[in-house]
Amino acid sequence: MAKQNKAEILTIGDEILYGQINDTNSQWISKALDAAGFRTIRKTTVGDGRGQILQAFREAAHRADLVLITGGLGPTADDLTKPCLAEFFNCALSMNEKALKEVSAFFQSKGLELTELNRQQAMLPDCCEPITNELGTAPGMWIKNGDQVFVSMPGVPFEMKHMMTRYILPKLAKTFHTEVVYHRVIKTIGIGESWLSEKIAPWADSLPDHISLAYLPSLGQVKLRLTASGSDLESLKAEVAGQTERLYPYAGKYIYGFDNDEIESVVGNNLRKEHLTLATAESCTGGFLGHSITRIPGASDYFKGGVIAYANEIKVKMLGVDESTLDQFGAVSEETVRQMAEGVAREMGTDIGLATTGVAGPDGGSPEKPVGTVWIGCHFRGETIIRKLQLWKDREVNIQASSIAVLNLLRITLSKTIEEKT
């Protein structure tokens, strides 16, 4: 098995430490390195201080084969990456003719005069090979130190991504000989992490050593990530596909997709395929369910619309819920959610009606219906499936969890229909 090269990502900038901007670069770089067969072993952010930066260089140089640095390359005095690289690698900063030509050409192309401050951007450590920045003024740097490589890139995301894609990744592929790593994410819904892990324990325990499993839980969902490493991508893919097949007897009914699949697009694609239309009647989710469905491009193929029936009078007027039902059972009840799901499908002329009603919190609970009590319903072809949820104390969490649960109800309904047809 080829050795997997270790990478570290180093981000430089006070603004990230203080939370003033979000670091989106390091996730992007992680993914790119992962796809290129590197194993990222650490991400570090330090501020704009010489001592901190040099310390981070020292630590990374001890551990990693590749150190990717972003930030600290601006033209102002608080940008210290270049002098720190020069100090760390014990070389001088001097005007790099290739870089100066490129920086000058960049300014000329924009009809701008080259200021002295910008001219300074072509001052680089002697030990580096400059990397062209086609979208900005700060050149990148490639420093080879024995078998180890340090790369410094600008922190501006679009400049960095372009430089990485166009120059750095191809150069890395030539320089390092990397092991093949293949990931597959299996997406489940409707079961908690601990229950799922108990159900699939025999399968998980039988995975071979070169395939590892990780649980990635999020609200109402658990992702299972299989990571396989070896020498041949195609055989790893085949092996992971085989292991995925073996998982179905244990947890097949919770699996809705893979990798970048989302529950909203999976049910959306099934609706489109089956030529079915959908409408929503929302009380406690207040529009979030409609938003979840319509944030998927092309949702208008199957989604006709919805009613946010927040007040009881709207449930009566727009959805045809009986006033007597509301009086007798209350808005948060099996009877009301049934009439909401059936009512919206009837009023909007759709095949399917989804409904939610509940106590999202933080107030409004009672001993019989505490905060987190939610009823969800899915009406389809004369039948309405209803579930009661007992959720949390947090309003936003309850809204999102209710929405995910009713989408799961729709998924189950559709999969029965598709099964019956086949």
By CB under 8 A, tell whether 218 contacts a copy of itself: yes
Give me the residues paired with residue 148 across strands: 145
Tell which one of 197, 265, 325, 415 touches a copy of itself (CB under 8 A). 197
The one-letter code for the residue type at 57 is: F
The number of residues that bind a copy of itself (CB under 8 A) is 108
Which of 97/198 has CB closer to a copy of itself?
A: 198
> What's the closest the beta carbon of residue 389 comes to a copy of itself, in angstroms?
9
C-alpha span between 78 and 296 (Å, rounded)? 43
If residue 105 lies in a helix (H) or strand (E), which one and from where to where?
Answer: helix 97-109
Per CB under 8 A, the segment of 87-95, 195-203, 267-275, 377-385 that binds a copy of itself is 195-203
Tell which one of 61, 93, 207, 314 touches a copy of itself (CB under 8 A). 314
Show contacts with a copy of itself in window 234-263 (CB under 8 A): none
Tell which one of 363, 368, 383, 420 touches a copy of itself (CB under 8 A). 363
C-alpha span between 162 and 149 (Å, rounded)? 19
Which of 18/419 has CB closer to a copy of itself?
A: 18
By CB under 8 A, tell whether 387 contacts a copy of itself: no
By CB under 8 A, tell whether 282 contacts a copy of itself: yes
By CB under 8 A, tell whether 83 contacts a copy of itself: no
DSSP labels, 329-347: H-SSSHHHHHHHHHHHHHH
Which of 96/285 has CB closer to a copy of itself?
A: 285
The first and second tokens of residue 106, run together, are 């960049």
Q: What are phi and psi of 385, to 5 degrees?
A: -90, 135
Q: Which residues contact 101 (CB under 8 A, 6 or more apart)?
A: none
Tell which one of 287, 320, 330, 365 touches a copy of itself (CB under 8 A). 287
> What's the closest the beta carbon of residue 396 comes to a copy of itself, in angstroms?
6
By CB under 8 A, tell whether 367 contacts a copy of itself: no
Which of 127/182 has CB closer to a copy of itself?
A: 182
By CB under 8 A, tell whether 165 contacts a copy of itself: no
By CB under 8 A, tell whether 298 contacts a copy of itself: yes
Q: Is the dihedral angle over the CA atoms 195, 198, 202, 205 positive or is it negative?
A: positive
By CB under 8 A, tell whether 89 contacts a copy of itself: no
Render the burial of 55-64: b for 16+ CB within 10 Å, e for the rest. ebbeebeeeb
Nearest in space to 152 (alpha carbons), one of 19, 50, 6, 53 = 53
By CB under 8 A, tell whether 293 contacts a copy of itself: yes
> What's the closest the beta carbon of residue 176 comes to a copy of itself, in angstroms?
18
The first and second tokens of residue 28, run together, are 């992007």
By CB under 8 A, tell whether 265 contacts a copy of itself: no
By CB under 8 A, tell whether 348 contacts a copy of itself: yes
Per CB under 8 A, the segment of 72-80, 91-99, 238-246, 322-330 that binds a copy of itself is 72-80
Nearest in space to 189 (alpha carbons), one of 414, 416, 409 = 409
Q: Contact at 8 Å (CB) between 103 and 137?
A: yes
Mask 25-64, x = binds a copy of itself (CB under 8 A)? -xxxxxxxxx-----xxxxxxxxx---x---x--x-----
C-alpha span between 81 and 10 (Å, rounded)? 11
Q: What are phi and psi of 228, to 5 degrees?
A: -115, 140
C-alpha span between 85 and 128 (Å, rounded)? 9
By CB under 8 A, tell whether 3 contacts a copy of itself: no
By CB under 8 A, tell whether 193 contacts a copy of itself: yes
- Whose tokens are 């325990």? That residue is 205
Tell which one of 300, 324, 421, 422 touches a copy of itself (CB under 8 A). 300
The one-letter code for the residue type at 111 is: G
